[in-house]
Amino acid sequence: MARRPMRSLAFAVLFGGLLGALGLLTGCGQETPAVPSPSAATVSRAGTPGFFRICKGQTYALCAASSCTVVNQVAYCKCDVKSGDSISLPLTVDGEDVCSINAKGPENGYMVSTFSVPESVVAPSGNQALYTCPAATSDGGYAQCDGGFCFTSSEGKSFPGFDNTLGQANIICACPITVSDPATARIGYQIAGPYPCDSSYFRNCKSQTANTSTGSTVKVGAPTGTARFLTQQLYGSVPPLHECLPPSRGPH
């Protein structure tokens, strides 16, 4: 089993604590995390301190509902190119945060993956849903793409592991893979999948399907409740979202 990348581990611990502290789980019976939490989450616009950064009016990669091909334990994800406001962990490199790094991307051949709510999971018209993979039974891998770097050279081109040529509004992003361990996990995770809910899709929560072997397919995911939390921080409210729970617990 692959070692969990430090950035992914920090991401999971931070969001698990924040979600528990702020009570922003979906209320559909998901696990409540029992990890240490900051007293409050802080959100900032670019250039001011805070746990998260809101990047205003930028072109960015949205990977939240994406599928990925694994090559040498790295997930290469087919993401959407979007413009507008988005939110991310700071991703500070050489004194610059995620917003300033992304702003320099167009002239340097890259883009950064940040978050906004995917329209595809918004009810009632979306054709996707958030599938909750329970902590106690999910041993699969998923890609965590917040702050992932993407290759603008891939737009409109072919890329290994994807059958069709990418559209001009698609981009490939490289993301670390988190492997869930039911023996130690305190919170599950969510991935995007088809709506109406399809019970067979929960195979993507299992290592038989979603793993770190080259050629495997993994979905982009995040600790349970992250999408709701970030949407609240970015927009001030959360629209109705399609959600699917494991078969024994039914759709939401």
Which tokens sit at 242?
């399609």
| E-strand stretches of the chain | 43-45, 52-62, 67-71, 74-88, 110-114, 128-133, 141-143, 149-151, 170-175, 177-179, 189-194, 217-219, 221-223, 243-244
Residue 143 placed within a domain: yes
Residue 190: per-residue pLDDT: 98
**Whole-prediction pTM value?**
0.83
| Domain housing 32 | 6-37+54-244
φ/ψ region of 242 (left if φ > 0, alpha if ψ in -120 to 50, else beta) reads: beta
Residue 38: per-residue pLDDT: 36
Other beta carbons within 10 Å of 44: 15
Residue 92: per-residue pLDDT: 84
**What is the Cα–Cα distance from 150 to 111, expressed in whole angstroms?**
5
Residue 90: per-residue pLDDT: 87
Residue 25: per-residue pLDDT: 39
Residue 117 placed within a domain: yes
Residue 46 placed within a domain: no
Residue 248: per-residue pLDDT: 73
Residue 43 placed within a domain: no
Residue 48 placed within a domain: no
Residue 182: per-residue pLDDT: 97
Residue 95: per-residue pLDDT: 87
Residue 252: per-residue pLDDT: 54
Residue 94 placed within a domain: yes
- Taking 50 as the pLDDT cut, the residues of the chain under it are 1-40, 47-49
Chain centroid offset of residue 218 CA: 12
Residue 88 placed within a domain: yes
Looking at the structure of the chain, the number of domains it has is: 1
User: How wide is the angle at C-alpha 78 spanned by C-alphas 74 and 83, nearest 5°?
Assistant: 120
- The answer to whether 243 and 132 are in contact (CB under 8 A) is yes
The packing angle between helices 226-235 and 6-22, to 10°, is: 70
Residue 43: per-residue pLDDT: 63
